[in-house]
Amino acid sequence: MRMLVKVLLVSLALSPVARADDALFRRGDVNADRKVDISDAITTLSYLFGGATAPSCLDAADANDSGGVDVADAIFVLGYLFREGKMPPPPGPFACGEDPTPDGLGCGAYTVCDPAPAVPTAPANLEAVSMAVDRIDLSWEDMSDNETGFHVERRGGGDANFGVVATLAAGTNHFSDGSSLAAATEYVYRVAAFNEEGLSPYSNEAAAVTWTPPPAPPAAPTDLRATAVGALQVSLQWKDNASNETGFRIERSLDAASGFALVAAAGANAVSHVDVSGLSASTTYFYRVCAYNDAGASAYTSTASVTTGVPSGTQIIADHSIVERYAAIPQRYIDEVKKMWFNLQGESHSRGYRNGLRYLFEADARFSAVIVETGAPTPYRTDALRANRALRNQYNNWSYGTGEQEWYTNGAGKTQIKNHITYCETNDLHIAAIGFGWCWDMTWYNSPGGTMDPVHRVRWAGSSVDGPEGNLRWGLDAEDFALTGNSVCMDTYLGATSEYIALCAAGGYTTKVLFTTGPLDGNYTGESGVQRHIKHDYIRQFVRADPSRLLFDYADILAWSNAGQEYLRTWTDTDGNVREYQVIHPDNMLNFDGGDADKDDADADHIGEVGALRLGKAAWWLLARIAGWDGISAD
């Protein structure tokens, strides 16, 4: 042993062995058997003095961490084993339980050690679940035992970058986020653990979308208006104040305060309805309307009351209220109409009547019609209604294009109309119904001007081609000569039409002469539109004064849409009064393909195919009434 110690002393002169700083090992375990015992001291001495092979891990032999391997290391190990000396110091940072032997250095590690501080391991399996319109729940696995806590980060809802929304204690594995979340919005989350050494890697990202809130009940409709349309129809209009309704419920009662019952439903965005369900003539009804959706119903409108009209009896007035009742014409009256000649005179606007008959025939073969625009009128037949504007003129041939100068402004023209009726009725060309299809005669050529009418508070407009004083604007009656300088007036038209009625009565002709209203084209608005409306109402009042008179109310038919909505505009007169007047409904300017007749008026009637079809339906209803149908019965 003395010799061995002597050899050890000699070894003090050896140069220190360089350390391998990247090696993981337990100092003193020279022979790498995962324990420190006397064999490690012997291995060191044998290496130093006995010529043995160098230890596989020289840093392990540097038990006292002096920077070299010498006899002091063997003594350090022996002191640790037999004299309660210090435990050999660790070599540097390594985790407890690690066995880095595979690195080829052969330096094993003991489980009895103090690990060096390290950042936590990243949380795993993050999940996000939406729980409400403003809440998302998170859960994850805590993969560390050395975290101080967790940071929860979020992006979404307008934030492009992640931001911390919560800091949680160690050991937490769930979180409920209710911090300023918007409904129906996607949010993305990630979680990291942290301690004094820093932040772990982030977990996986997890996304969830907050719930869409249930719909709120719609806003209540307002401004309910109820208008009687004859004896058995009521037109309803209201203002739609909602954008989320499924539809509307229309309720009716005979009492203003109770007894309301559902009579109809209308779809979303509806603003009108025509009630024809179980109504009685001369009866007062009360209506209210509410909007509804999946969340419930709105409040009701204010109640609107209306009294239906008296039965029309023998008077025949074709206005907007009868348009869709053409479908109720019994077959035997359809067959009677097919024997008729409908001879509606006029210029370009009168084409609308005939185009409408054509469109109805194309849509429903029951309503067959033969329309000609040139040549002699079609001879009598029983399989199709004949319609044209043929006029037997002073030259004993047929012309097309009767204007105001033939129908009412000029004496010679009126004589021509009378001769036409007489010729046809005495030559086996019976005219079932004849009338005048107005053009722009009430508004065109002469815009409002002259002296203000003191009663109606408008200036008159219109044309009177070939009138006694020339082509001038005109008013209602003879008193308006002082305002317009024109003896032609609405009474002139009414008088001429009445003369033709008297002619037929005197001759025993069964021809029905119709009073008519005229166009409502939207390019005549403001004061011009108001004075036109006054003229139309003047005709209506005249007709209603005598139940034997017949009216085809062209203007009213086209002021209303198929959906039952009337199109009105307003004009403020010089007294500050707001005046309403009818204008053709925009829907009635549309063709069946959705095109606008203002841009494509190939049929030259100045209205859309939709509007013309309404005229055709009304014409069939009127002619069936002339044939004897009461407008109600089904046979």
What is the per-residue pLDDT across 208-217, written as a single tens digit (0 to 9) for each? 999 998 889 9
Q: Residue 463 falls within a domain, yes or no?
A: yes
- For 409-423, the DSSP string reads S-HHHHHHHHHHHHH
Which residue from 148, 141, 284, 186 is spatially nearest to 226, judged by alpha carbons?
Answer: 284
Q: Residue 312 falls within a domain, yes or no?
A: no
Residue 105 is predicted with a pLDDT of 33
- Say if residues 287 and 224 touch (Cβ distance below 8 Å): yes
What number is the average pLDDT over the span 126-151?
96
Stated as kind and residue range, the H or E segment containing 433 is strand 433-437
Query: Of 210, 233, 267, which residue is a domain's last?
Result: 210
Residue 55 is predicted with a pLDDT of 72
Residue predicted with more confidence, 45 or 388: 388
Report how far residue 471's alpha carbon sits from residue 464's, in angstroms, rounded to the nearest whole number: 4
Tell whether the model's pLDDT for residue 589 goes beyond 80.
Answer: yes
Residue 143 banded pLDDT, cuts 50, 70, 90: very high
Output the average pLDDT for the chain.
86
- Say if residues 339 and 430 touch (Cβ distance below 8 Å): no
Residue predicted with more confidence, 127 or 439: 127
Can you list the positions of beta strands (E) in 221-271? 222-228, 234-239, 247-253, 261-267
Residue 291 banded pLDDT, cuts 50, 70, 90: very high
Residue predicted with more confidence, 38 or 432: 432
| Window from 76-90, 366-380, 414-428, 621-635 with minimum mean pLDDT | 76-90
Residue 109 is predicted with a pLDDT of 38
Tell whether the model's pLDDT for residue 191 goes beyond 90.
Answer: yes
Judgement on whether residues 509 and 583 belong to the same structural domain of the protein: yes
Judgement on whether residues 301 and 351 belong to the same structural domain of the protein: no
Judgement on whether residues 449 and 592 belong to the same structural domain of the protein: yes
76: amino acid identity, one letter: F
CATH number at residue 235: 2.60.40.10
Residue 633 banded pLDDT, cuts 50, 70, 90: confident
Q: In percent, how much of the chain has pLDDT > 70? A: 86
**What torsion, rounded to 10 degrees, do the Cα atoms 254, 256, 257, 260 define?**
50
Judgement on whether residues 203 and 303 belong to the same structural domain of the protein: no
Q: Residue 175 falls within a domain, yes or no?
A: yes
Residue 84 is predicted with a pLDDT of 52
Residue 546 is predicted with a pLDDT of 84
Report how far residue 478's alpha carbon sits from residue 483's, in angstroms, rounded to the nearest whole number: 10
Residue 112 is predicted with a pLDDT of 34
Summarised one tens digit per residue, pLDDT across range 55-107 is 766 667 777 777 777 888 778 777 766 655 444 554 443 333 343 333 333 34
Residue 56 is predicted with a pLDDT of 63
Query: Of 307, 329, 361, which residue is a domain's last?
Result: 307
Summarised one tens digit per residue, pLDDT across range 151-170 is 999 999 888 899 999 999 99
Residue 67 is predicted with a pLDDT of 73
Judgement on whether residues 342 and 424 belong to the same structural domain of the protein: yes
Domain that holds residue 182: 124-210
- Say if residues 453 and 527 touch (Cβ distance below 8 Å): no
What number is the average pLDDT over the span 333-357?
93
Residue 233 is predicted with a pLDDT of 76
- N-term to C-term CA, the chain: 141
H-type helices in 545-602, by residue range?
554-559
Query: Of 165, 186, 210, which residue is a domain's last?
Result: 210
- For 189-230, the DSSP string reads EEEEEEETTEEPPP---EEEEPPPPPPPPPPPPEEEEEEE-S
Report how far residue 166's alpha carbon sits from residue 177's, in angstroms, rounded to the nearest whole number: 8
Q: Residue 270 falls within a domain, yes or no?
A: yes
Q: Residue 35 falls within a domain, yes or no?
A: no
H-type helices in 50-155, by residue range?
58-61, 71-82
Q: How many CB atoms lie within 10 A of CB 405?
A: 19
Judgement on whether residues 345 and 461 belong to the same structural domain of the protein: yes
Residue 28 banded pLDDT, cuts 50, 70, 90: confident
Residue predicted with more confidence, 38 or 269: 269
State which of 97-106, 182-191, 500-509, 520-529 shows the largest mean pLDDT.
182-191
Residue predicted with more confidence, 76 or 373: 373
Judgement on whether residues 501 and 575 belong to the same structural domain of the protein: yes
Tell whether the model's pLDDT for residue 356 goes beyond 80.
Answer: yes
Class of residue 86 by CB neighbours under 10 A (exposed 0-12, middle 13-18, buried 19+): exposed
Tell whether the model's pLDDT for residue 535 goes beyond 70.
Answer: yes
Residue 99 is predicted with a pLDDT of 39
Tell whether the model's pLDDT for residue 456 goes beyond 60.
Answer: yes
Judgement on whether residues 259 and 323 belong to the same structural domain of the protein: no
Predicted TM-score (pTM) above 0.85: no
Residue 80 is predicted with a pLDDT of 67
Q: Angle 278-320-253 (CA atoms, 0-180°, nearest 5)?
A: 30
Task: State how beta strands 247-253 and 159-169 pair.
Answer: unpaired
Residue 506 banded pLDDT, cuts 50, 70, 90: confident
What number is the average pLDDT over the span 619-633?
92
| Window from 110-114, 437-441, 536-540 with minimum mean pLDDT | 110-114
Judgement on whether residues 381 and 424 belong to the same structural domain of the protein: yes
Tell whether the model's pLDDT for residue 635 goes beyond 90.
Answer: no
Is the backbone of residue 272 left (phi > 0), alpha (psi -120 to 50) or beta?
beta
Residue 102 is predicted with a pLDDT of 39
Tell whether the model's pLDDT for residue 39 goes beyond 50.
Answer: yes
Summarised one tens digit per residue, pLDDT across range 6-26 is 433 333 333 333 223 333 346
Number of domains in the chain: 3
Q: Residue 587 falls within a domain, yes or no?
A: yes
Residue 481 is predicted with a pLDDT of 92
Q: Residue 203 falls within a domain, yes or no?
A: yes
Tell whether the model's pLDDT for residue 142 goes beyond 80.
Answer: yes
Judgement on whether residues 465 and 560 belong to the same structural domain of the protein: yes
Judgement on whether residues 270 and 367 belong to the same structural domain of the protein: no
Residue 220 is predicted with a pLDDT of 97
What number is the average pLDDT over the span 37-47?
81
Those residues whose C-beta lies under 8 Å from the C-beta of residue 246, and which sit 6 or more positions away, are: 268, 292, 293, 294
Residue 267 banded pLDDT, cuts 50, 70, 90: confident
Report how far residue 78's alpha carbon sits from residue 37's, in angstroms, rounded to the nearest whole number: 8
Q: Residue 499 falls within a domain, yes or no?
A: yes
Judgement on whether residues 356 and 469 belong to the same structural domain of the protein: yes
Residue 279 is predicted with a pLDDT of 87
